[in-house]
């Protein structure tokens, strides 16, 4: 049994997104190996609480080490940009911490953050080095941001500029790519950006989920569309609402009574989205639910018909969760959720013109509504797609396959 030194900046088994994925990746590595997991000190209380609440024999394979920079190098950490700078410093100082601990390991793996533009320095430990899954959110076209404050456009462009500076000018990033024995890439855009050789990478989404159980007979009597996530422009909820409105326009009054859209999430754009709903006069058919605990969200997925997710992001854990409940996915055909699905379990729409995207989202929703046999078939295929591509054990097996080939 090998020992894997795994760096996971974000770990919290009670959360989703990067934190929840960090926990699950560590757990999956421990299925086959001993793990020395390094994370931040503020994650300790959540990790220990969860391990006490849910004992598991695999925990014997996991040793956690906690590392943070001195207080003077972290008290100013506020907001996403300063947090990313802190992460950069944390990564840079991590090899020194490992050397001081004098731990033995066979392979070193930088698990998260899942950014392909922030370098890792773990290759300096002179062991086989694995990086990822890593990727990025693509640039959001201006046309797709007009519903929101101008400030978000400038924030998005500033973040993209920083990414490009790292991709093009960072010697540390180039050395990370050069010294990586294997890179798990979240989507097909990553290898090209990092100029990776074909034998040095695999396409491995960062998202997966556990199996909450699938019961195709436990659906709502309504045609229920569901969308979930933080209410920010990145997620494209404005397009979900506008396409749903067009879908309703084509329905009779009696048909409308059997259709609903549920949006689950909280965030700064809640009022913007609620105003769009009011302007379209569809308040009767759209329900906003503030962020709920994960089990309650899974129960909503269980009774829904379709998951609509026109997000611009490069990942999307909720897509994996929706697939596990047999929900066909309607999303953008992008380097993100669009690569997570195929035509058997979802519909990807074009991403070049805002109005055209809304039109195609409407067509996709209409197609699934008016063709119940297709909806049922795609539902079964969505469940199969989860089992073969987005179950956490699949990720663990992918990791182990690479570890087994490294010496």
Residue 216 lies in a domain: no
Domain span at residue 13 reads: 3-208+391-404
Residue 214 lies in a domain: no
- Collect all residues with Cβ–Cβ distance below 8 Å to 145 and sequence separation of at least 6: 152, 153, 156, 233
Angle in degrees, 0-180, between the axes of helices 171-179 and 150-169, rounded to the nearest 10: 60
Judgement on whether residues 87 and 10 belong to the same structural domain of the protein: yes
- pLDDT level of residue 293 (50, 70, 90 thresholds): confident
Tell me the sheet residues that pair with 115: 135
pLDDT on residue 315:
83
Residue 218 lies in a domain: no
Residue 118 lies in a domain: yes
Question: pTM here?
Answer: 0.92
Residue 375 lies in a domain: yes
Query: Which pair of structure tokens corresponds to residue 117?
Result: 């533009």
Residue 114 lies in a domain: yes
Judgement on whether residues 263 and 126 belong to the same structural domain of the protein: no
Question: Model confidence over 140-159: pLDDT tens digits?
Answer: 999 999 889 899 899 899 98
Residue 196 lies in a domain: yes
- Collect all residues with Cβ–Cβ distance below 8 Å to 195 and sequence separation of at least 6: 177
Judgement on whether residues 246 and 131 belong to the same structural domain of the protein: no
Judgement on whether residues 203 and 326 belong to the same structural domain of the protein: no
**For the domain that residue 284 is a member of, what is the CATH number?**
3.40.50.2000
**Contact of 308 with 240, CB cutoff 8 Å:** yes
Question: Model confidence over 180-231: pLDDT tens digits?
Answer: 999 999 999 999 999 999 999 999 999 999 998 888 777 788 999 999 999 9
Rounded CA-CA distance 399/407 in Å is 14
Query: Which pair of structure tokens corresponds to residue 271?
Result: 């009022």
- Collect all residues with Cβ–Cβ distance below 8 Å to 26 and sequence separation of at least 6: 6, 8, 11, 35, 37, 62, 111
Question: Model confidence over 317-375: pLDDT tens digits?
Answer: 899 999 999 999 999 998 888 888 999 999 999 988 999 999 999 999 999 999 999 99
What is the count of structural domains for the chain? 2
Query: Which pair of structure tokens corresponds to residue 266?
Result: 């909280």
Judgement on whether residues 201 and 255 belong to the same structural domain of the protein: no
Tell me which residue of 339, 286, 296 sits closest to 315, measured CA to CA. 339
Residue 213 lies in a domain: no
Judgement on whether residues 384 and 396 belong to the same structural domain of the protein: no
CA contacts within 13 A on the Cβ side of 198: 0
Query: Which pair of structure tokens corresponds to residue 220?
Result: 């709502």
Judgement on whether residues 233 and 198 belong to the same structural domain of the protein: no
Judgement on whether residues 338 and 285 belong to the same structural domain of the protein: yes
Judgement on whether residues 247 and 204 belong to the same structural domain of the protein: no
Judgement on whether residues 283 and 296 belong to the same structural domain of the protein: yes
Mean pLDDT over 123-134 rounds to 97
Judgement on whether residues 286 and 363 belong to the same structural domain of the protein: yes
Query: Which pair of structure tokens corresponds to residue 121?
Result: 């320095």
Judgement on whether residues 381 and 252 belong to the same structural domain of the protein: yes
Name the one residue in this structure whose structure tokens are 């969200």. Answer: 297
């Amino acid at each position: 049994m090998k020992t894997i030194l795994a760096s996971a900046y974000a770990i919290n088994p009670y959360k989703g997104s990067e934190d929840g994925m960090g926990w699950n990746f560590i757990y999956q590595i421990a299925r086959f190996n001993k793990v020395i997991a390094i994370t931040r000190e503020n994650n300790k209380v959540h990790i220990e609480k969860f391990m006490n609440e849910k004992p598991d024999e695999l925990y014997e394979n996991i040793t956690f080490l906690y590392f943070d920079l001195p207080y003077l190098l972290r008290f100013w950490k506020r907001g996403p940009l300063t947090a990313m700078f802190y992460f950069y410093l944390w990564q840079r100082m991590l090899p020194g911490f490992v050397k001081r601990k004098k731990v033995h390991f066979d392979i070193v793996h930088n698990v998260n953050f899942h950014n392909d533009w922030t370098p890792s320095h773990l290759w300096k430990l002179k062991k086989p080095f694995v990086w990822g899954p890593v990727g990025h959110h693509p640039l959001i076209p201006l046309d797709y941001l007009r519903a929101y404050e101008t400030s978000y456009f400038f924030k998005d462009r500033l973040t993209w500029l920083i990414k490009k500076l790292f991709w093009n000018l960072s010697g540390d990033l180039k050395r990370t790519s050069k010294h990586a024995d294997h890179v798990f890439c979240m989507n097909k855009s990553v290898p090209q950006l990092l100029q990776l050789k074909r034998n040095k990478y695999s396409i491995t989404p960062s998202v997966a989920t556990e199996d909450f159980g699938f019961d195709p007979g436990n659906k709502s009597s309504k045609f229920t569309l569901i969308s979930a996530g933080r209410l920010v422009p990145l997620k494209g909820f404005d397009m979900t609402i506008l396409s749903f409105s067009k879908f309703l326009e084509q329905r009779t009054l009696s048909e409308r009574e059997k259709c609903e859209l549920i949006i689950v999430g909280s965030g700064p754009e809640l009022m913007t989205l609620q105003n769009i709903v009011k302007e379209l006069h569809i308040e009767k058919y759209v329900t906003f639910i503030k962020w709920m605990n994960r089990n309650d969200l899974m129960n909503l997925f269980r009774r829904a018909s379709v998951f609509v997710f026109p997000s611009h992001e490069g990942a999307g854990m909720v897509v994996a969760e929706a697939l596990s409940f047999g929900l066909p996915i309607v999303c953008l055909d992008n380097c993100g959720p669009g690569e997570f699905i195929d035509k058997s379990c979802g519909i990807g729409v074009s991403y070049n013109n805002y109005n055209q995207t809304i039109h195609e989202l409407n067509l996709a929703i209409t197609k699934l509504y008016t063709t119940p046999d297709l909806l049922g078939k795609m539902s079964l295929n969505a469940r199969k797609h989860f089992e073969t591509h987005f179950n956490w054990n699949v990720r663990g097996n992918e990791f182990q396959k690479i570890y087994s080939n490294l010496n």
